[in-house]
Amino acid sequence: MDRRQQQPYSYYGAKPDTNASSMDDFGAHNNPAAFARGTGFDNPFVDQSSAAAVDGSRHNHSTGHNRRTGFGNFGPGTNEKEVRMDSYAQKQSTKAVAGGGTGGEGNVAKGSHEHVEDLETTKSRRMWVMFTWILTFWIPSPFLSWCGRMQRPDVRMAWREKVAICVIIVFLWFLLLFVIIGLGLILCPKEYVWTLDDVSGHSTEKSSYVALRGSVYDITDFMRQKHGDSAYTATMDTFLLSYSGNDVNASFPLPVRVACPQFATAKSDPNYLFFYPVSGASEADPNQANMFQHSMNRDPISKKLQDPDFFAKYALPTMKKFKKGGVVWSYDWVNSMYKDQSQFWRVINKEVFNLQPYFDAAKSGLNVNKKYNILDSRLEAVMDQGGYGSADVTNSWNDIAWDPATRDSNYNCMKNLFYVGEIDDRHSIRCLFTNYMLLAFACLLMLVVLVKFLAALQFGNKKRPVPPSKFVVCQVPCYTEDDDSLLKTINSLAALDYQDNHKLMFIICDGNIIGSGNDKPTPRLVLDILGVDPDYDPPG
């Protein structure tokens, strides 16, 4: 039968029957969306957005059929005015979409087959776009179009957002490295300091350290050389090795006239014989330690030792080349010396002073006419508080009402005679802050892992979840698979926890092909698995 006789209309110029109810109704063919929404037949699988998309493409659909029938672009059922209206509508739709979502990269070229939803740009989106441009302004858009082959502005904007994310990640990396490494060095700069326990560990021929008036020196190479003059030529086999690991303050007594010229003058001490009974910071007895005392009366022949300022002129310049750092003391130990041992150890601005020799001489019976009370009486009152307060007298020192010259002369005298080091603050909160912070982060991560572990534990009976009530379509494309693969796939889909009356299995056989190792075509294998009559031959 002629096709034109079967249908109420044809492509060959027959006038459509407006009363026809066939699915090939002219209006439905030229406007499929109208059919999807049409009266008398509700299609639940076509939503409004799909209908709008189909409605917008009706011009191309109709003109495509007209080209196949040879009638040009304006065939029967489509007039020139309608085509012009459709073209105008598409241009207006493109203008409405232009400029949105590209972050200032330009307009998106939208084809007639694309559906672009125009959404309102939120404030957070505008802020993110601005931040993205701040991070990627140095990359020009023409460069991306030419070198990166990114012709579309939305693609270029997406690329810029990825670069911005990478920049943020790298910045966070450097920030983390700064917190781990740099922040600790800023809060607590690296210090080359040693305690007396550290110094005592270097007492061998290969490593010899000594502490002298608040500084640490490495004399390993120095003690292998010959020193001194006249009869007191020192070598490693005699004296110097016994000094290793000790505080050698007692070996270098300073005349008070040299250390405190404001308080001991040539009139009061013409022969530089005014000394305080120096005992080292480690309380070593010079006589018991067999330490050589570098003083004027020890070697009358040595010209260097005859100089009252031997320590500043000869000893310090020589030892400066071997200096390793400073001596530090634990504040708890210093405070214990003051509170528990009744020793005159004091701290001023983190500097430690051992004033025990001064008060031993000042309180002895040999202190005639208060010869040994050279410091200001107000400073002596601060230093000798009879166990009151703590070893740190910084506040009391600052509260003394004296002129700068008097303060400086008293401070310099104490620094030259009684200074033994500084307070060790390597274990303070300031220096350990980064360690505590990293420990807190590690504990937080462990807590998260513990919480997730506890949340994963199942205490009690496990309740079976309620089967989903949604409709689901399982699409299975097959081509040349064997019957075992097909059977496993179908059985696995049939075992899904969806209700059987809400589950549709849609098997698509892409061609009537016999796969490798099969004796039947793929559609026949599927029919056999589904239990269809072997004699049934479905239409091709």
Quickly tell me which residue has 């232009």 as its tokens. Answer: 98
Task: Decide: helix, strand or coil at residue 419.
Answer: strand
Locate 494 and state its tokens.
């049939």
pTM of the predicted model as reported, rounded to 2 decimal places: 0.58
The span from the CA of 226 to the CA of 243, in Å, is: 15
Strand 351-354 with 419-423, pairing: antiparallel
**Residue 399: enclosing H or E segment and its boundaries?**
helix 394-399
Is the distance from CB of 249 to CB of 420 less than 8 angstroms?
yes
Locate 425 and state its tokens.
């603050």
The span from the CA of 426 to the CA of 187, in Å, is: 11
| Res 80: pLDDT | 47
| Res 295: pLDDT | 77
The span from the CA of 253 to the CA of 280, in Å, is: 10
Triad 378, 382, 383: Cα angle to 5°: 115
Locate 63 and state its tokens.
């003109």
The span from the CA of 335 to the CA of 389, in Å, is: 10
The mean pLDDT values, 10 residues at a time, for the chain of 540 residues are 39 40 40 39 38 39 38 42 45 44 58 61 92 94 88 92 96 92 86 91 90 92 72 57 86 91 90 77 47 74 85 90 94 93 93 93 86 93 89 95 94 94 90 89 95 84 70 90 92 86 89 88 90 81
Locate 493 and state its tokens.
């889909």
Is the distance from CB of 251 to CB of 364 less than 8 angstroms?
no
Residues in contact with 34: Cβ distance below 8 Å, sequence separation at least 6, in sequence order: 27, 28, 55
| Res 105: pLDDT | 65
| Res 470: pLDDT | 80
Quickly tell me which residue has 């005298």 as its tokens. Answer: 413
The span from the CA of 251 to the CA of 243, in Å, is: 10
| Res 235: pLDDT | 54
Positive or negative torsion for Cα 243, 244, 250, 253? positive
| Res 279: pLDDT | 55
Residues in contact with 7: Cβ distance below 8 Å, sequence separation at least 6, in sequence order: 22, 24
Is the distance from CB of 351 to CB of 331 less than 8 angstroms?
no
Locate 413 and state its tokens.
């005298």
| Res 368: pLDDT | 82
| Res 104: pLDDT | 65
| Res 109: pLDDT | 54
